[in-house]
Structure 1
């Protein structure tokens, strides 16, 4: 009889103790997880923990598991958060269906781009879109993913374009051409190889090669710093003749012919 009474007393005490912590019993996230942080979650989700550690970006440094996953099954069925819980107030975050590109929130910048992702790209990369609109070229007719097949991928120009000469390298392309406005060419230096120019401007190159004049030895970019720029002869030569002669013949070419084939 005494043994039964003792058993009832102990059971009653345990029940009283267990019900003295109502918050812990109702917490969506177990108290142990909140206390131990991400390490507790990693006990059951080691692969996800490794992914976040390697490539979690801000999801690794700025938030914990419980910041996003406020509950756990079966107690809480709403344990997968919406991106919009945190990502708001910028044009990119107003797009729907985030997971089309950001397929794994645990490595958010490992982006898998759909074939036609133009709108999504331009909400973050606004300047390339503005450049292509302001300077139309064949590139303007393409969508971002035609060149950038994966996020951060920078294609080589010569994977699509032939070089202007056999000795041209990939680095030479961007000396003149900005990829998003390729027809606004600016030559980065005066010793730019004239052989590159000759591939398109064959007649000028042929005339210069046959000329005995000093212009033959002058680099193309010394006179043409920008593509299509025709310099004034006086930029280099000043006004070498008497004023009366210049008044009578205001254009140097009237006497000297064209700059590539001086008389």
Structure 2
């Protein structure tokens, strides 16, 4: 029995060829380098990570090493794909690494054996279910790490085609898959290959008979029974090589060029560790720091009026006021306004207001007709105020609006924006009722917003011309003929004859059907007394 055990450990079987062992060593080196340099970047800030980064030459050197290992891993993967293609197409090797239903039953049988439910260890094929799981996990992980690594290596190029959220998602997936791969190696691979028994086949290329019986019992029986798969026909291999090798060479060069493009076309990557602080010279100007002048500095927008008598800012600038302040100012007291906003001077009467200030009042406000602003400026009146003024009291108007000058005297032209003057005197019975000539359908209709105004309010805004100064006598006739004026001072045509005697009835000559000088159609409803209200005798 002892001799048989000794023979089991002495007899060996070839498991891996030299190219396969070299491929494994390259994979081992690149994977380990990627794991170490990647995890210390993912968990940067810890004492171990910072120490290893310092040993490797800093974060930039660590990232360069990580990228070089990634390129080696990708090139090794390309080589593996071409080798698998050679075995399948040229040597017609069976695809023994493909998983199948047999692997499920083998896994169940091994579990039953480990639990003591069966005495015999199941006989497993050349590649058992555990090795297939590791192999395909490596392929899956390589694809995930390759795609996410490309996105992290070239984020600007990626975000030209994909949303920016893909970059942090790729970073999370890259780090998570790295942890999963490292744990799979430590927990599963290390136990199966290095702890359960030390499998040296990847270094020596051989397994002992005992190891073959434990891990690949079915393959061992086939070898010892002479039922191992025969070598392929050499002539057929050479014929297929002449086809496959040129194709594989071209494909390999294309893929290698893709790796070069992948690693060089964009010089950027996500920073994972902040750079260490470095001392840099700071430019210090020679000019001295300016001394404080004591003058207030304007921070917010300026106040476009003086604030004497207007200390309650929220009267006009509350949230429901004429010019509301921002919502975030709602809880601030009035006395805090001038901390940021500095007041400006109130414009003198007649002067242009500061930009942004309230409009001036184009007339004086000291006389009785002008003391009630709402008489002309309420809703529905001649010049209504804005809607946000509706709740303002009468005495609040002059808090913002200042009179631009005095009320024009009789005969004077009003200031710009003021009401039009009355172009005729208003004394005498004919002129006491303005609506005789000024109204809807009258010779000179007033604006629509004047319809509700009482006649006695007209002179509140509109002033008559100056009356004839006392002491000046009407010029007496000299006996010489003088040219009669054709237009009265009020702007209307004069009557070129006397108005007494046969001329008292204007309609005798001036009606719509008159051949002498018919009246305008708009005058047809006027009564005789109204004629001389506008048309004065030139006599």
TM-score, normalised to structure 2, is 0.15
Whichever of the two has the greater Rg, that structure is 2
